[in-house]
Amino acid sequence: MSSTATILDAAKPIPERLVMPATDHLVDSLDPEPHPPDDAEDLPTAAVVFDVDAVSVYYGEFRAVQDASLKVHEHEITAFIGPSGCGKTTLLRCFNRMNDLISSARVTGSLCYYGVDLYNPQVDAVEVRRRIGMVFQKPNPFPKSIKDNVAYGPKVAGLAKKGPAMDDIVENSLRKAALWDEVKDRLNDNALGLSGGQQQRLCIARAIATDPDVLLMDEPCSALDPIATTRIEELMHDLKTDYSIVIVTHNMQQAARVSDRTAFFSVEVNADSDSRTGILVEYDFTQHIFSNPSDERTENYVTGRFG
C-alpha cells in the first residue's frame, strides 16, 4: 500500500474541507460492490440522483460501455476515472442524453434520474438537458458577448426575457461561477476574449444559469493550466452545496482532490472480435478507491502501474 500512499502524497495538499472524515472506517472493507448509503446506516443518506442499472451503450454494433451499474448521490461529487477509451465520457453523456446527437448511439439497461427512467420514450431530451447541465472538455463559449452566453439557456427555456430579471440571472450565475468580479465591467465584450480558464468558468456559469440540479463535467480542466485548474476545483467544491456533480477526469489526483466517490473504468479487449469495451471495475468512496481498492485492476491503475 505504500505506493498508493505515494499517489495521494504526490497530489497537491488536499484542503481540509475536501477530506471526508466519515468514511475512514470503510477503508478496511473489501466489499467489491458500491456502498449504497441505505446499507450503511451510520452514514448520512444522500438521495440518489442517478440510478444506473446495467447500462450498456452501443455505437452501431460496437459496444462502448458494458453493463455499468452505480448510484450517483445528491450534493456529492462523483468522479469517473480510467484510461482512454474506457467509456467514461460515453456513460456521462447518457446522463443528459447527449448521445442522442449521435444517430448510431443506442442505450440499453435502465438509467433513472430521481426515479424517472431517462430513456422512457415519453421523456424529452430537451427537458432533461435543462435540468442536467453540462460542461465540456474544451471551453466552448458562443462567439457572442459574455452576457449573451449566460443568458442563452434561460432565454431558450423561457425563464426570463431581456431586462432586470435576466440581468439578475446573469449576475448570480457569474457570481456562483466565481467570474463576476473579473467580467462585471465588460459583460458586452466577446466571450472569446477571455482566457481559457475564464472561458471554462463562463461555461459553468452558462450551465448554472438554466437552474439545473446536476452538473456533468467532461474533463473540464484538461485544456487548462494548473492555476486555472485549481480555481475550477475550488469552484466545484463550492458548487457542491447547490448541485450534484459528476466529473470525468483523466487526472487521478484531481479525482482524489475533489470527489466524494469515484468510479474506476477499464477497457476489456474482446478476444474474438478484437473490439474494446469499457467496463465499470469498481465504484466506491474516493478514499477507499485510492487507499485500499478492492480490485487489483483499480490498484494497478491508481498506483500508476497501468494506464
Partner 1 sequence: MQTNEPVSVGASGSARQNVPLTTAALAGSPHRLRKENLISKLMYGAALVSVVVSGLIMYALFSEAWVFMRDVDWAQTWGQIGWFPRRGIYDMPTLLIASFWTTLIAMVVAAPLGLGAAIYLSEYARSSHRALFKPILEVLAGIPSVVFGFFALLWLAPNVVANIGGAGGRGSMVAAGLGVGILTIPLVASISEDAMAAVPKSLREASAGLGARKAVTTLRVVLPAAVSGLVASMIVAVSRALGETMVVFMAGGAADAAVRTITPYDGSLTMPAAMASLASGTDQVVGEGLTFQSLFFVGLVLFLLTLGLNLIGDRFVARIREQY
Q: Which residues bind partner 1 (CB under 8 A)?
A: 96, 98, 101, 103, 126-127, 129-130, 133-134, 136, 138, 140-144, 152-153, 156-157, 190, 192, 203, 206-207, 210
Closer CB to partner 1, 22 or 126, in the complex: 126
Residue 211 CB, nearest distance to partner 1 (Å)? Answer: 11
The CB-of-130 to partner 1 minimum distance in angstroms stands at 4
**Other CB atoms closer than 10 Å to residue 241's CB: what's the count?**
7
Q: How far apart are CA 69 and CA 46, in angstroms?
A: 18
What minimum distance in Å lies between the beta carbon of 215 and partner 1?
Answer: 11
Residue type for position 90: T
Instruction: Find the shortest distance in angstroms from Cβ 126 to partner 1.
Output: 5
What is the spatial distance between Cα 297 and Cα 274, in angstroms, rounded to a whole number? 20
What residues contact residue 85 under an 8 Å CB cut-off, 6+ apart? 267, 276, 278
Contact criterion met (CB below 8 Å) for 148 and 142? yes
- Tally of CB atoms within 10 A around 64: 20
CA 289 – CA 221 distance, rounded (Å): 22
Query: Judged by CB, which is closer to partner 1: 130, or 288?
Result: 130
**Nearest CB to partner 1, comparing residues 141 and 293:** 141
Residue indicated by cell numbers 498506483:
303
Residue pair 75/244 in contact (Cβ under 8 Å)? The answer is yes
Q: Which is nearer to partner 1, 84 or 103 (CB)?
A: 103
Which C-beta is closer to partner 1: that of 177 or that of 280?
177
Q: How far is the CB of 189 from partner 1 (least distance, A)?
A: 13
Half-sphere exposure of 212 (CA within 13 A, CB side): 30
Contacts 24+ apart (CB under 8 A), 158-161: 159/210, 159/211
What's the closest the beta carbon of residue 3 comes to partner 1, in angstroms? 38
Question: Closer to partner 1 at the Cβ: 127 or 168?
Answer: 127
